[in-house]
Chain A
Amino acid sequence: MKVDKKLAAFEMFSLTMILIALKLTDTTPSLFAQKAQNAFWYIPLLAFIVILPSLLILLYLLKHYQAKHLINLLEILLGNKLGKAIGFIFLLLNITFISLDSRNYVEQIRNLYFLNSSTLIIFVLFTIICIFGAIRGIEVIGYTAKIFFPFIFISFFLLAFLIYEELVWDRIFPIFGSGLPLIVEESLLKGSIYSDFILLTMGYSAFRKSHDFNTGGLVGLLFAIGVITFFFLIYAVVFDYNSIEKISFPFHEITQYVNLGDFFTNIETFFMVFWLLATFIRFILLLYLLTWLFGAIFNIKHFELLILPMGYLVMVVGLVPDNSVVNELIYRNQLLNLMTPIIMGFPLVLLLIHLFKRKKVEN
């Protein structure tokens, strides 16, 4: 019997939340704090405003052309070859970005819990789980995200609740940190932290209706920005500008600050469990989307078979940086700055072509 097994709006919401909001747990806050100091907390908000038009344009075009996914849309608008070429550039950027990102998470796991283990072993295990998960397909990833999401959300909420007594609200001042121009510049450059969402449009056809994708995605994005900003604000008022620059993983740092009553004083492992669940789902999803992107560009129908080599590739690229500091402050920073204009620009180009085409048809 065939029942509709496609994804619905809540799955999209959960996927978007896990994909985007998880940024609050990695090194993104300290990356922002390097320049913006204690004003880093609203950079995600500004960056979102910068990138929002591009995302909306993309969603509109996908719906308008009834495209199956991003590459399909590029092909419709730019023609077969040019579309695929742009897609290929996008693929290269994403492979690098996701590799560095996964290295970032592996370093977190290693530095916080398994200092004596080698990065390689942890990375191998990480890749194995990503491959095993991704092989189950986008629907299963969506279902799993949906079922896990409430638990992950509750754990984050609990953390915010428990840290409350540590907050010193005066620390948000000076409100513009190291100066407004610097913050605006940083916001303009870091729009690419939302680039994962563009990758998510590869899964457009896995949803029941385009309405599900759009609503779930946009509501998820808004919530994610809210949660990120909220947590960044917490970091800012817990650590103040001097220490936040030096702390690489503020999320894990605050899990070590909190107690649950007098008896349970070290409960970071509790939060780590939910954080790990979210991390796994995130990278499983990214790996799947990346392989899908690859499959779409090279016209490979059964791209699921490529998940294993793709996972391996991501791991190998992720192992290239010598250490986490280089990875974080040089490679990832540069890549984020490089990606932003591309992410912002290409939907605009697509829109121009769309308008041009429409005019041509009208004439």
Chain B
Amino acid sequence: MQNRRKKAKGNEFGVENKLSSDLVANIDLLKHCFSYGKNNDFSMRVFQAKYNQKDVLLCYYASLVNSDKIEQTIIRPLLEQSGSSLYHVIIPESVKVTSNLNEIQDHMTSGKAIMLMEDDPIAYSIDVSNFEHRGISQSENESVVRGPKEAFTESLRVNISLVRKRVRNHNLMTEVKKVGDRSTQDVQLLYIDNLVNDKLLEEVKEKLDAIKVGNVQNLELLEQYIEDRPYSIFPSIYYTERPDNAAIYLERGHIILLMESSAACLIVPITFWSFIHNPEDRYMRVIFGNFTRGVRFLALFLTTMISAIYVALANFHSQMIPPDLLLAITVTRERVPFPLILEVLIMEVAFELIREAGIRIPNPLGPTIGIVGALILGQAAVEANIISPIIVIVSALSGLTSFAISDPSFNYTVRITRFIFILSAGFFGMYSLVMAFTIWFMYAVSLKSFGIPYFAPLAPIYLSNQDTYFRKAMRKEKWRPGYLLPKDLQSARKDK
């Protein structure tokens, strides 16, 4: 594919793909190639180097480079210093040599300065890039009480450094894959070379190679290009903005994908449990962590099921509700004109609307919507006899507990599931609800993420720490997940 792309570009300009030793011809070539004059931030400068008295051309995208650095490390040394060769004169840390026009283009667009010299058919590509990005800030979507607070930011270099800071291992590889035919972006694959399964790595690379689009701007889009089932309601790739989380998964033998301009990473392959677990479960003592997990499983049950169970019980199995409670429900429902399932749906939809609006609303207006929402949902709707008070409690419970599922992707799964269950419960009560649940669950169990069963290592079983519903004490964790087929299965020291 690489070759095809190069060929296509060569034809585009109708010129030779290589540099010649004639500087003037080369300058013309570059001017033509980068639309000099039309393209405002393409800068070019010609001057004479002192050390060999030859003409030098320096060109770069002014918006991508650090001009101070160019001044200090390239131009001034070349103008003022003498020496035997170029490398004795210029200072920058990274200089690459190329003569291929396509490579020059790639280097230019990734923030390098290109230097050509008289009588020389090669170009020096000097790294002086300075992409603007946000500083490192606190993790906003996956906040923890105990544990590191920093999150990835929109700079590849910073993100890699955040990971390397945690994984002090020379086997940590940061391999680059190019994606996109027109605007080529780097996808950085991070893995620990002597842990990761080679076939898995190959599969991920194949998936990246198979992307045939002009531009993949960021990770969020990349995720949708490499996932197995785009229409599934379950996510199969883990998206996290926490570098500590990434480091944990790296050590287990997973692969991390990073991209410039994404403040997060993708982790593959993944299981169902990763979406339920939270890094904080591990930062807290085992009992506290497991207690939180218990609460989270309860939240998962409540958020998906409580409204549906209410519909099923009140409509079909009212004998199960204790008489006093049943009477209370009946009294409050007396004046409500709608059927029960419609009532529940109105409330749930209203909650979803407020939630969506709450995300999109401009910050200064934020508190307003809270008040309006609470008033409409809580007070006014009940007083107007549109809904009964118990529905407010039920849907508030199901809405609130959904926030305990911290993973943003899985959160959507849970919310869609809730509607599926409510509708099915309205059909045949518990019978159809259990039916829907069984089908939903069996679908989830049948899923695979890069060939790994979704519910591993619970079903099917593999040698691992059995970190599923609850986790073990840290010092009893001796294995890496066996389902990843890592090169080294044992994570504890061998002599133990």
Contacts and interface: CB of A to CB of B under 8 A. Distances in A.
Interface in B302-347: 313, 316-317, 319-320, 322
Given A136-B443, A144-B441, A1 B432 contact: no
A125 B485 contact: no
Contacts, number: 112
Contact of B430 (A136, A146, A264, A269): A269
Contacts of A11: 459-460
A272 B430 contact: yes
A4 B485 CA distance: 10
B351 interface: no
B431 A147 contact: no
A144 B445 contact: yes
B320 A269 contact: yes
Given A2-B199, A3-B483, A144-B445, A277 B434 contact: yes
A147 B440 CA distance: 14
Given A122-B431, A147-B459, A129 B438 contact: yes
B430 A273 contact: yes
B214 interface: no
Contacts of A284: 442
Interface in B411-437: 428-432, 434-435, 437
Nearest to A143: B459
B434 A276 contact: yes
B461 interface: yes
Interface string B454-487: 0110111110000000000000000000010100
A133 interface: yes
Contacts of A3: 451-453, 456, 462, 483, 485
A6 B460 contact: yes
B143 interface: no
A323 interface: no
Nearest to A263: B322
A153 to B, nearest CB: 15
A57 to B, nearest CB: 29
A320 interface: no
Interface string A259-276: 000011111111011001
B430 A142 contact: no
A8 B456 CA distance: 13
Given A265-B322, A269-B317, A114 B428 contact: yes
A22 interface: no
Nearest 8 interchain pairs by C-beta:
A143-B459, A1-B451, A269-B320, A276-B434, A140-B446, A1-B200, A146-B459, A269-B317
14 contacts: A1-B451, A3-B452, A117-B428, A122-B428, A139-B460, A142-B460, A144-B459, A266-B320, A272-B430, A273-B430, A276-B434, A277-B437, A280-B438, A281-B438
Interface of A: 1-8, 10-11, 109, 113-114, 117, 122, 125, 128-129, 132-133, 136-137, 139-144, 146-147, 263-270, 272-273, 276-277, 280-281, 284
Given A4-B460, A129-B438, 6 more contacts: A1-B269, A8-B460, A132-B439, A142-B460, A144-B445, A280-B435
